[in-house]
Amino acid sequence: MSDKSRRSFLLGIIIILILFSFATFEPYRYMWVFLSICASVLLIIDMMFFGPDKFIYDPFYSNWEKTHIKDL
């Protein structure tokens, strides 16, 4: 699934959950708000860390230094 389609899917889920939270009865409202917040956090994490060249995990500083510092 590409980045744009995955984010569109998550945004659609968030919109549906927000609509459900407005349309539900009072005892269940907090559950739908909580689910909306969880889906929103997933979308934010997706936009921050996933995608090509967004997040590269390399625990060794020497490897990062070789690839990112061109002056040495």
Looking at residue 41, its pLDDT comes to 93
Write out residues in the chain with pLDDT < 50, as ranges: none
Looking at residue 34, its pLDDT comes to 92
Whether the full predicted model's pTM is greater than 0.85, yes or no, is no
Q: How many Å apart are CA 72 and CA 57, to the nearest integer? A: 22
The predicted-structure confidence for 49-64, as pLDDT tens digits, reads as follows: 877 667 777 788 888 7
Helix and strand numbers, DSSP H then E, in the chain: 3, 0
